């Protein structure tokens, strides 16, 4: 088991470098010169060159990449060209907002999705099943930002229950979490329901009934336990969805998170910030997948034993 964890963590290293190369090259294909934003009207070509040299933009791409990487590995993410602050500082400021939002949205959609999926699977084919699944699916088909806007309209503008935007206090988290969570809920509910229906038909469930175990115990302690394995797998694979949702929703609710930072920096062509925030998002995706794999190993003794 320990060997598996080490191997799995070590596997992240090449992936990390591959991702960093992709991000780096994409960034350098971006049009628009960030130096342009810095120059005052009428500044001389010499000033321009000095600035370009200062940010290392005149050196060959490979060298720039190596420099960036070696700095990243020592914890230095560079300096924002337009926002003129250390990138690490900008990111560190934004990250808590995104983490709290993403983490809560993940919890929310997992819990709600599993509950809905379990209920739907237990009363399969009934109006409850069709109504719940229909409702959840409908919710997941709506554009994230539009749900966000609607929620603001209903809860903030009309009812005045929650703040319209910003990031003060837990109240400001409610609407964004709900907005992102809806999409994930549908995914989790669907996987839970299918996996549970699948498991319900297994022989061991029949035997559990024959042992006289209460149906509720069977559903929760046995069937759901099996169903959670694919749920974890899917969630780990699609953790990016939650992050992607966070990007849009942060903008809608004007939360100063990583998503807002990314969009702002993209518009300003602030390379180092875009690079760093993408790298962080990619790392979050990779860590999510890792967590999923490890969780799966913890949940499934067959999988655990196949690793040795």
Partner 1 sequence: MSAAVQKTGMLGTIRRSVAWRALATIKGGVAGGFLLLVVLGAIFAPVLTPYDYDIQALTNAFQPPSLAHPMGTDEFGRDVLTRILYGARTSLSVSVVAISISLVFGMTLGAAAGYFGGRFDRMVMVVVDLTWSFPEILVALMLVAIIGPGVTGTLVAICVAYLAQFTRLTRSQVMALKSETYVEAARGLGASHAFILFRHLLPNCLGPVLVAGMLATGDAIILEATLGFFGLGAQPPTPSWGGMMSSGSGLLFKGPWIILFPGLCIALTVVAINLFGDVLLAKLDIRDRLRVV
Partner 2 sequence: MLLDVRDLSLRIGTVGLLDGLSFSVDRGEVLGLVGESGSGKSLTALALTGLAARMGATITAGSVVFDGTDLVGLKESAYRRLRGKRIGFITQNPMSALDALVTIGDQVDQVSRLHLGLSKRAARAHTVEILSRLRIPEAEVVARAYPHNLSGGMKQRVVIAMALAADPDLIIADEPTTALDVTVQAQIVMMLADLVRKRDLGLILITHDMSVVAQICDKVCVLYAGRVAESGPVRQIFAAPRHPYTEALIGCIPRDGMAPGSLRGIPGTVAAVSQYGADCCRFAPRCCRADALCSTQQPLPVATGTGGMLACHHPVDTPVTEAADADDR
In terms of phi and psi (left: phi > 0; alpha: psi -120 to 50; beta: otherwise), the region of 270 is beta
What, of partner 2, partner 1, none, does residue 21 touch, CB below 5 to 8 Å by kind?
none
> Whose Cβ is closer to partner 1: residue 77's or residue 242's?
242
Alpha-carbon distance of 94 to 100, in angstroms, equals: 11
Give yes or no for a contact between 80 and 270, defined as CB atoms under 8 angstroms apart: yes
What, of partner 1, partner 2, none, does residue 202 touch, CB below 5 to 8 Å by kind?
partner 2
**Distances from the Cα of 103 to the Cα of 8, 97, 108, angstroms:** 23, 10, 9
- What is the footprint of partner 1 within residues 289-308 (CB under 8 A)? 289
User: Cα dihedral sign for 66, 70, 71, 77?
Assistant: positive
Q: Which stretch binds partner 1 (CB under 8 A): 74-82, 87-95, 170-178, 246-254?
A: 246-254
Binding mask 148-187 for partner 2 (x = CB under 8 A): ----------------------------------------
Q: Binding of partner 2 at residue 85 (CB under 8 A)?
A: no
Q: Binding of partner 1 at residue 123 (CB under 8 A)?
A: no
Sort 229 into a burial class: Cβ within 10 Å, 0-12 / 13-18 / 19+.
middle
Q: Binding of partner 2 at residue 226 (CB under 8 A)?
A: yes
Secondary structure, 3-state, 222-254:
HHHHHHHHHHHHHHHHCHHHHHHHHHHHHHHCC
Residue with token string 């993410």: 77
Alpha-carbon distance of 307 to 1, in angstroms, equals: 7
Alpha-carbon distance of 192 to 231, in angstroms, equals: 6
Q: Binding of partner 1 at residue 142 (CB under 8 A)?
A: yes
Q: Which stretch binds partner 1 (CB under 8 A): 3-11, 36-44, 83-91, 282-290?
A: 282-290
Q: Binding of partner 2 at residue 209 (CB under 8 A)?
A: yes
Q: Binding of partner 1 at residue 11 (CB under 8 A)?
A: no
Cβ partners under 8 Å of residue 117, min gap 6: 188, 189, 190, 191, 192, 193, 196, 227, 231
Q: Binding of partner 1 at residue 17 (CB under 8 A)?
A: no
Instruction: Pick from 206, 220, 237, 307 the residue near partner 2 by CB under 8 A.
Output: 206
What, of partner 1, partner 2, none, does residue 210 touch, CB below 5 to 8 Å by kind?
partner 2
Q: Binding of partner 1 at residue 200 (CB under 8 A)?
A: no
Residues near partner 2 (CB under 8 A) are 202-204, 206-214, 222, 225-226, 299-302, 305
């Amino acid at each position: 088991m320990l060997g598996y964890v080490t191997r799995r963590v070590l596997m992240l290293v090449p992936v990390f470098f591959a991702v960093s190369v992709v991000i780096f090259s994409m960034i350098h294909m971006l049009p628009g010169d960030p130096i342009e934003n810095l120059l005052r009207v009428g500044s001389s070509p010499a000033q321009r060159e000095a600035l370009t040299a200062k940010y290392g933009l005149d050196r060959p791409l490979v060298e720039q990449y190596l420099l960036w990487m070696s700095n990243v590995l020592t914890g230095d993410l560079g300096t924002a060209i337009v926002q003129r602050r250390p990138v690490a500082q900008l990111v560190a400021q934004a990250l808590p907002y995104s983490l709290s939002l993403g983490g809560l949205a993940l919890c929310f959609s997992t819990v709600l999705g599993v509950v809905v999926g379990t209920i739907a699977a237990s009363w399969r084919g009934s109006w409850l099943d069709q109504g719940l699944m229909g409702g959840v699916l409908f919710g997941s088909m709506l554009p994230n930002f539009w749900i966000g806007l609607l929620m603001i309209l209903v809860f903030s503008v009309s009812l005045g229950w929650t703040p319209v935007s910003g990031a003060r206090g837990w109240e400001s988290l409610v609407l964004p979490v709900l907005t992102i969570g809806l999409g994930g809920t549908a995914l989790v509910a669907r996987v839970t329901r299918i996996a549970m229906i699948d498991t319900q038909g297994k022989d061991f469930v029949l035997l559990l009934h024959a042992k006289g175990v209460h149906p509720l115990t069977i559903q929760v302690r046995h069937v759901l336990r099996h169903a959670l394995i694919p749920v974890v797998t899917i969630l780990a694979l699609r953790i990016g969805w939650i992050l992607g949702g966070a990007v849009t929703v942060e903008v809608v609710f004007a939360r100063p998170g990583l998503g807002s930072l990314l969009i702002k920096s993209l518009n300003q062509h602030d390379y180092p910030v875009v690079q760093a925030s993408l790298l962080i998002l990619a790392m979050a995706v990779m860590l999510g997948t890792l967590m999923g794999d490890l969780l799966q190993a913890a949940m499934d003794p067959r999988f655990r034993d196949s690793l040795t």
